[in-house]
């Protein structure tokens, strides 16, 4: 079979369509998750105005003077939330040409002590810039919508696996981890460097990405060829990852939301690919993206902390 040069497009609204169309949607979704690992999600119901406003607010933040951006630098946050400067993160041995804001669920900080589980430490508040007070409300609204769409995709995936559509709900409860990244890729004039972020494996069970019209995201096929995730109007890019896996002494250990029998994500016979994404940058144009990565609550992964 010829390898695809484009990501599948999934109209998630068809999950609630009449039986024949719903069945076709589930077959398409199963193929996209099992054979590709990335796909575009359309007709998701996230208002266009909200998607435009969050990108507009992001542009205003990254246009602030550096001193105002550094007001929320992530080293000031015990939860490692906030702003990271361009060129200070490295992937695959190269500096990533991006600056970003890391945001999580807006929760009160927990007072932890000796004997408390480590997964409680990242729980807490975000940092928000005083020069851009509207950012908080916009991002938290976007986060809630992204979480809603992610849960809808998970319900459809459960159904595609022959399970009840609520199968994953027990794992992605109110304490589930959600990590939002607002990323700015400035133009990079260097002739020998176009890395926005190098090839990597994202954390989290499922990620939803809103690109701007510039694009730049690429996904590596199983044969090693990189294909462009060309922006599709009004679509999110969905990345469905492998479940939480810890490696100790070369043996995988798995805890998490996997139905017995049919399995979309684990390696082995008929297994889904674990694709690597990367992002290139332009020499002339800046690029923006907003993503939400969803994972299980740490309470389900306590035996994996410190070994992943």
19-31 vs 134-160: helix axis angle to the nearest 10?
Answer: 100
Stretch among 42-51, 66-75, 232-241 having the lowest mean pLDDT: 232-241
Does pLDDT of 48 surpass 80?
yes
88 in any annotated domain: yes
Highest mean pLDDT among 108-112, 185-189, 303-307: 108-112
Question: 243 or 163, which is more confident?
Answer: 163
Percent of all residues in the chain with a pLDDT value above 90, rounded to a whole number: 43
Residue 200 · residue 276 · CB < 8 Å: yes
65 in any annotated domain: yes
Q: Which burial class, exposed, middle or buried, applies to 16 when counting CB atoms under 10 A from its CB (0-12, 13-18, 19+)?
A: exposed
- Residue-range definition of the domain harbouring residue 214: 9-110+118-300
140 in any annotated domain: yes
Does pLDDT of 221 surpass 70?
yes
Average pLDDT over residues 59-81: 95
Average pLDDT over residues 24-36: 90
Does pLDDT of 42 surpass 60?
yes
4 in any annotated domain: no
Does pLDDT of 193 surpass 80?
no
Dihedrals phi, psi of 10, to nearest 5 degrees: -115, 115
The predicted pLDDT at position 294 comes to: 87
* pTM greater than 0.85 (yes/no): no
Does pLDDT of 100 surpass 90?
yes
The predicted pLDDT at position 72 comes to: 97
Does pLDDT of 180 surpass 50?
yes
| Residue 14 DSSP label | G
Does pLDDT of 249 surpass 60?
no
Does pLDDT of 264 surpass 70?
no
Does pLDDT of 288 surpass 60?
yes
306 in any annotated domain: no
Residue 87 · residue 96 · CB < 8 Å: yes
Does pLDDT of 127 surpass 90?
yes
Number of independent structural domains in the chain: 1
The predicted pLDDT at position 60 comes to: 97
134-160 vs 48-62: helix axis angle to the nearest 10?
Answer: 130
Q: How far, CA to CA in Å, does 68 sit from each of 60, 72, 201, 255?
A: 12, 8, 31, 42
Does pLDDT of 123 surpass 70?
yes
The predicted pLDDT at position 246 comes to: 26
The predicted pLDDT at position 113 comes to: 84
305 in any annotated domain: no
Q: Which burial class, exposed, middle or buried, applies to 66 when counting CB atoms under 10 A from its CB (0-12, 13-18, 19+)?
A: exposed
The predicted pLDDT at position 217 comes to: 80
CATH of the domain at 170: 2.60.120.330
The predicted pLDDT at position 198 comes to: 60
Over residues 149-173, the pLDDT tens digits come to 999 999 999 999 999 999 888 888 7
pLDDT band at 174 (very low <50, low <70, confident <90, very high): confident
The predicted pLDDT at position 297 comes to: 73
307 in any annotated domain: no
Does pLDDT of 142 surpass 70?
yes
Q: How far is CA 297 from the centre of its chain?
A: 16
Cα–Cα distance measured from residue 194 to residue 97, given in angstroms and rounded to the nearest whole number:
8
Question: 96 or 132, which is more confident?
Answer: 132
Residue 167 · residue 259 · CB < 8 Å: yes
* Alpha-helix residue ranges (DSSP H) falling in 212-272: none
pLDDT band at 110 (very low <50, low <70, confident <90, very high): confident
Residue 1 · residue 223 · CB < 8 Å: no
275, HSE (Cβ side, Cα atoms, 13 Å): 29
Q: Which residues of 20-31 are buried (b: 16+ CB within 10 A; e: fewer)?
A: eeeeebbebbbe
Helices (H) then strands (E): counts for the chain:
4, 16
Average pLDDT over residues 214-218: 80
Cβ within 8 Å of residue 221, ≥6 positions away: 3, 4, 227, 275
Average pLDDT score, the chain: 79
Highest mean pLDDT among 24-28, 106-110, 263-267: 24-28
252 in any annotated domain: yes
């Amino acid at each position: 079979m010829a390898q695809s040069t484009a990501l599948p497009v999934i109209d998630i609204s068809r999950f609630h369509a009449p039986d024949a169309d719903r069945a076709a949607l589930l077959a398409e979704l199963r193929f996209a998750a099992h054979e590709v690992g990335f796909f575009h999600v359309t007709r998701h119901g996230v208002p266009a105005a909200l998607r435009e406003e969050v990108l507009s607010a992001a542009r205003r933040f990254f246009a602030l003077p550096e001193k105002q951006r550094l007001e929320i630098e992530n080293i000031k946050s015990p939860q490692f939330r906030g702003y990271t400067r361009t060129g200070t993160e490295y992937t695959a041995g190269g500096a990533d040409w991006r600056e970003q804001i890391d945001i999580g669920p807006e929760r009160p900080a927990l007072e932890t002590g000796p004997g408390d589980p480590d997964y409680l430490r990242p729980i807490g508040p975000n940092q928000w810039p005083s020069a851009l007070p509207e950012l908080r409300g916009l991002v938290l609204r976007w986060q809630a919508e992204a979480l809603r769409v992610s849960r809808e995709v998970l319900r459809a995936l459960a159904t595609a696996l022959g399970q009840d559509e609520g199968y994953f709900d027990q794992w992605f409860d109110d304490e589930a981890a959600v990590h939002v990244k607002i990323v700015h890729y400035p133009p990079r004039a260097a002739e020998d460097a176009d890395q926005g972020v190098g090839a990597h494996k994202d954390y989290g069970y499922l990620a939803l990405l809103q690109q701007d019209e510039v694009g730049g995201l690429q996904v590596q096929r199983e044969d090693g060829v990189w294909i462009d995730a060309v922006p599709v109007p009004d679509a999110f890019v969905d990345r469905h990852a492998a479940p939480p896996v810890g490696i100790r002494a070369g043996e995988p250990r798995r805890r998490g939301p996997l139905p017995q029998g049919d399995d979309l994500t684990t390696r082995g016979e008929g297994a889904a690919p674990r694709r690597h994404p990367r992002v290139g940058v332009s020499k002339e144009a800046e690029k923006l993206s907003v993503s939400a990565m969803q994972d299980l609550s740490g309470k389900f992964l306590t035996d994996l902390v410190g070994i992943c």
